Structure 1
Amino acid sequence: MRAANIFERYLTTPRKMIMTSIMVGVVLAMTTSALYALWLHHKREQGYDILAQGIQRYVRDYFNDLEAVADTLQPLTQAGCNHVSADLTSRAAFNINVRAFLLVNNGTAYCSSATGSMSEPMAKLAPAIDTHQKVDLEIMPGTPMMPGKPTIAIWYQNPANAQRGIFTTLNVNLAPYLLFTSRHRDAASVALVIGDKAISTASPGVHSVASLVSSPLRIATLPDYPIKLFIYGRTWSREDIALSALSGILSGALGGCLCGYLLYVRQRSGKEILQGIRRNQFYIVWQPVVESKNLTMTGAEVLMRWEHPTAGAIPPDAFINFAEAQQLIVPLTRHLFKLIAKEAPLLMDILPQGAKLGVNIAPGHLHSPEFKEDIRQFAASLPDGHFQVVFEITERDMIKEKEAVSLFAWLHQQGFEIAVDDFGTGHSALIYLERFTMDYLKIDRGFVNAIGTETVTSPVLDAVITLARRLNMTTVAEGVETWEQTKWLRDRGVNYLQGFFFSRPVRVAQLIDWQRQRSGK
């Protein structure tokens, strides 16, 4: 499995990012659609409120003006029709939508602006009108002169004489109400309701209130008049629902894409590694290296670990190889140097002078322009003259031959030693030994695990040990886990041993305790 795939397994994978982005997009789409729909509904409700107030204001002003005219006509009720008929007719002519003004005395209409003198009981003209009220209204299907054309009849009692008053009939002009409803795209109709009768912009004629199909969205009333205004319309429109759905889809798509992008940027491996360095998520462990003859610790290999806050412990092979692929091995190795410099002084009491410190170097750092300066700073940060640093180069990694030869020579000049790590696991084992000057050969654990088994690996291990001896290279066996393996390696002259049989890689405090227990201090 590629390092990138291993790394992604421990951090957020593309599939997880896609699923998260989809979920965020869906939630955002639903939330946006709901909020936008609620906002449109709120705006629509506000529109109905404004519409109701506008119609209410129009009707109130009209009736107030009509009442003011009726007040000027009230003195005429004290005189006979032949004396006031001409004045009554002219007043009616100059009032919009007024069919006729009638003068009433003792429940009888005796003078009309349309016909002159008359004598008609109010109970017959407008049965629903109560002349004992100061103001009363009735919707009538028509009048004797204009049958079949609905009218609104209004009674105004004379404030000086309760037996007298003004009765007027109005043409029903619904044009202003249609104009009002046209301002609100969802308003369907307006109905004027008086008692149990109504006239509506939805259909001609007089209707019973019970016949009105649905409940009105708004009901407006006039304080001084027994009239109600019913406003009908849609609370939810298809256009608003479609617009809300479209806005939700757009915001969900944009939000999902943005979430995916942010997750990609945030979870991008390179950024995770840099964040891990800044937040001190990396730490080091030490694995003892013992001298095979007396099994005493003469050094240790330093290994880096990463405890990610959400992914947990990430294997070194994953993040180191991935750091190389992301060209972040240099800052990662520099951080390793700092961690070693911080803890190395703590080991001076348990490791003798000249003790070996094995430090892994990746080709990406070896061939970087900053390599020599980084090595100088690292050497200067360690206790002066106490440790012998051994840089370990993994044989599986490809290095540039010409540059490596000069760099290895420079490292030797600076007093460092070089080991070829995991020898025998790559494709260029013999080439490494032939072309580069190495001080140590670290035998891979795969060979050590074969000890005591009848496999083709055992003879190869014998050949590796013999080859190292002829090249005057010091040998270190990795992955030693049993006494049988220890004895076999000692018998064949392997110089140093390293593995779980002695100790797992541990933190510096544990290593100090381990060594003190072994030495009896």
Structure 2
Amino acid sequence: MILSILLVIPLLSFSNHIYGVFQIDIYQNLKLILQVLIIVFTMAIAIQSYLVFTHLLSNQTLYIGNLFFVIALLELVNLVFSQHHLTGWSFMDEPLHILTRLYVSFGFLFIILYPRKRLALKFRWLTYGSSLLFTIISIFLAYLAANTITEQGIAGIDTVVHLLSIIFQVITIVIVGKYFKKVPKRSMWLISAAASLIVSDIFFMISQDKNTICDFSALIYQFLAFYFFLKAIYYTTVEKPFQQLLKIKKDLEQSQQELRFQAYHDDITLLPNEHLLLKTLKDHLQINSLQKAAIAIEIDRFAAIRSSIGISNSNKMMKLVAERIQAIVPPHYFATKLREEQFVIYVKEVKNIEELLQFCLNLKSMMKDPVQVQLFPLNGNLNIGIALYEGKWTGEELLMHAQLAMQEARQIPQRLLFYKPYMSKGIADRILLEQDLHKALENHEFHLVYQPQVNLKTGSIESVEALVRWHHPMRGFVSPELFIPIAEESGLIIPLGEWILETACKQAKIWEQEGLPPFKVAVNLSLGQLFQQDLVEMVEAILVRTKLQPEFLQLEITESMTMNIDQMTQLLHELKALGIQIAVDDFGTGYSSLSYLKDFPIDCLKIDRTFVRNVPLNPNDEALVSMIISMAKHLRLKVVAEGIEEVEQLAFLSDGGCDYIQGYLFSKPISPKEISETFSDLHDHVRVILTRLRHTDDFTI
């Protein structure tokens, strides 16, 4: 546009020299070519607007098409009348030129000012038909003007029309310029067209003769103006929609890729999900005869952790574990994440069993360092199951067998198992039991029994341990060893643990009201409860509701829970501040550092029954028990020995300085009613046994 406007300077400055290069006939032929091109461009705009109106249905598109349809017809008539063999009609040239210029400038300004709206398709035929009629009327008006107005009058009108055209084009430039930032490309073409028409009007105004360079230059700029108009219409109706279509296509392809990624990947870890895993297994299992395998992995007791720290923090933990797995997965291993919060790794080629075992050991080693989730340094052991592919299995069966092996691995210390056919037999029963467990608490199927703990020095029962029992309406008695792990995995241990704690505290208060001497009630805490954010508040609220004095409540944690020393230290100190007592259950069976004994506010150690069972038959167990008792004495901790069933075991522990005894030798776990009714008999039974051992020293806690 700038170059075309700058061209005005040499045309005005050297007009005579430039015009003298060619003969008059050559200029006449060039003018004829320009006129033909102008007709072609204006008709192209009219036809293009006619065609795209079907899709756009815009009034502006339709009116622009009609405007340039009229201009094209008038220019065509003017071209015909101006030819030499029709000189008798050459008088129509100026009136038609005046109308054409007036229609272009005023018509386009009117169109951009007129509000945009949608029109029905029928308006296309109506308006184009009206434009044809309007053209005929315009030719008739030009004929009347040519025959009624003098040449000087027509020349004056021509000057006024060109001045009006310049004013209209300036207004057009100002209006279009407001939309330059919004639609820069279209605005640029329209402003260029308007500017070219202004230059063309100037040349027409200063032209004294049609056979001068100014008149020829005016046609050039008129041609440029219509070219710019065509570019603007083409950009608006063809190029821009096509670019938008390409963008939509690109966005659609990107959306399809994102949807495909979402369909085949886990939202949290971004690992491939079970859909992609099953598809991969279906496509690859039968390809070759190489040994293949599936490794199923879960974070031990993750359901309990999730119910304790919340969904957001548990998702972060899962993502961090996924990152650790990805960091050590070999290239021919395919790591995935299932909806059940499990990881499955498909091994496309098993070179040897040792390779699988070493990889699984690496998985377990990577979890030695706690997973830091905000303020929670979380320790998580992994349960791992491995299934080696057999040719008759489907992909789903391979996956299911790996998961079965993983579930069985929960029950063993190594937490790692290969799939065996026997594992498939009990899975259905386990699933049914988990479903029944969800209803058991609501249906009041649980009850507590209590096992007395005897002070060896005084011979009195000073505490009892609360143990939960489940009487299933169809199965009868269900062992805690069976349903407690299921409760922990499913997260039901949280409401169940709260019920156990409140029931035990209520019962202790009931015994006190019945006149029994006050004694402690010991309640086990699960790992899931320790991760409860409101555990301390919950314990305090239960003590308030049951009106039990805190010193008569003892909470027991297992040694394996003490791995996260920093978090556990703060939690136990908060519980200890309530006035309750803390005991470590199953001492000696865990794998923690003993440094927690000096950091935790512990009152008591409970020696696991596995050490007591072979005393005094096994010298190694005797040495371990003696060492635990000695260490506890030096740390000023009380010691409780569990699982005492024989007098010989009692004698060894008594001689070793054990403080409390718990086991079938004195009493099995019994109901609260039996405690109330047989409390004196229980003491008599205890005294009979202790008298045989001649324990007469006085001791009080």
Give TM-score, length-normalised by structure 1. Answer: 0.47
Which structure ranks higher in relative contact order (CA pairs < 8 Å, sequence separation ≥ 6)?
1
Larger strand fraction of residues: 1
> Which structure has the bigger radius of gyration?
1
